[in-house]
Amino acid sequence: MGEELKVIVFGLADEEYGIEVDKVQTIERMMPITRVPKTPSFIKGVVNLRGVVVPVLDLRGRFNLESTETTENSRIIIVAVNELEVGFIVDAANDVIDIDTDSIDAPPEVVGGIKAKYLRGVAKLGNNRLLIMLNLAEVLNKDEIIQLEQLEA
């Protein structure tokens, strides 16, 4: 048996995704987002989170999924990647679960329209439930991280 991995499960366009708990700072309700000019369309802007300016990305936009209005269930998941805090807008943050690292398979080329480079793998959770594990380092590639760091400055 592999190691247990604690992940936060969130919903996006009728699929379930996972991010390792140790990369997640907090999960926030939607809040006012200040637009920033000259940024890619999926970068929604910045929020002031307890005195810290945090860039916010729309994951639907990042993955070229159809955008929708935010709802009562929409959340901003604040993650830390390479000492940079970034918020991801998701449709819902559902729960925290333990998964066995042995149950994570390499990702197929495309899952739900999302390219494999953004994915760490797909975890099989029994009852035909699949959890798409994000590769945060790729979701925020180096060029974008540089742009986001400039937003924080």
What letter does residue 14 receive in the DSSP assignment? Answer: T
Q: What is the pLDDT of residues 19-39, one digit of tens each?
A: 999 999 999 999 999 998 888
Angle at 106 between CA 81 and CA 104, to 5 degrees: 80
pLDDT of residue 152: 63
Look at 10 and 138; give whichever has higher pLDDT: 10
Q: What is the CATH number of the domain that holds 104?
A: 2.40.50.180
Domain total for the chain?
A: 1
- Report residue 103 as tokens: 């149950």
Domain residue limits at 44: 4-152
User: Taking the model in full, what pTM does it have?
Assistant: 0.86
- Ramachandran sector of residue 98 (left: φ over 0; alpha: ψ -120 to 50; beta: rest): beta
Q: What is the pLDDT of residues 85-136, one digit of tens each?
A: 999 999 999 899 999 989 988 877 665 556 677 788 889 888 888 898 988 8
